[in-house]
Amino acid sequence: MINTRKIKIVAFVGLAGAGKSSAANYITEKGYPKVYFGGVILDALTQAGLDHTQENEKMFREELRAKEGKDFVAQRIITQIRDLIASGQHRIVADGLYSWTEYKALKSAFPGELILIAIVAPRRLRHRRLLNRPVRPLSQFEADQRDWAEIENLEKGGPIAIADHYIINDGDIEQLHQQIDTVLDEIEFIV
């Protein structure tokens, strides 16, 4: 029998359009709480009175990390996770871990409890998804620029490279869900 007191934090990593949020939402629909890295940036944009645009988001994300430290977002997420644990939650989903620095901060804060799952998809498919998404769609040029900025400026490749599990999201949503269920069974996440 699984020890339900053992904390497990599943963090989804991947480039934009890979399916991280779809994966995280699937698990939260099962009743598990989620923390959203991108939400920290969106909340900060709102507090600054800025519109939620691709340009503002990119500028603000990089500016905050330059001013507050590369682990700015992670420190806020660590606080959110600790609050969830204090409220009795032992299975938590983290959507959108970005950088190597964020990974190291979470790994240090929750040793043995953090599990990285990389969601990957071919670039052409990711970019098509980004173009067709209903919220903040991106053109081909904008998607390329975002990929490059995330890899070059935000250390996004490290967490993807070091992930504990990989899911290739090049099929339909049911296939993604099946792969997620397989990984969750392997790591005994579902209680």
pTM: 0.86
pLDDT digits (tens, 9 = 90+) for 113-127: 999 999 999 999 999
Q: How far apart are CA 190 and CA 94, in angstroms?
A: 15
**Cα 41 from Cα 136, distance rounded (Å):** 14
- Taking alpha carbons only, the member of 136, 140, 146 closest to residue 42 is 136
In terms of C-beta distances under 8 Å and separation of at least 24 residues, what long-range contacts does 63-66 make, across chains too?
A: 65/99, 65/154
Tokens coding 37: 């890295």
Walk me through the domains of the chain, giving residue ranges and CATH numbers: 8-37+72-186 (3.40.50.300)
What's the rounded Cα separation, in Å, for the pair 99 and 103?
A: 6
Tens digit of each residue's pLDDT (9 = 90 or more) over 152-181: 887 899 999 999 999 999 999 999 999 999
pLDDT of residue 5: 56
Per residue in 4-52, pLDDT (tens digit) is: 458 999 999 999 999 999 999 999 999 999 999 888 888 888 888 888 8
Q: How far apart are CA 143 and CA 178, in angstroms?
A: 27
DSSP 12: E
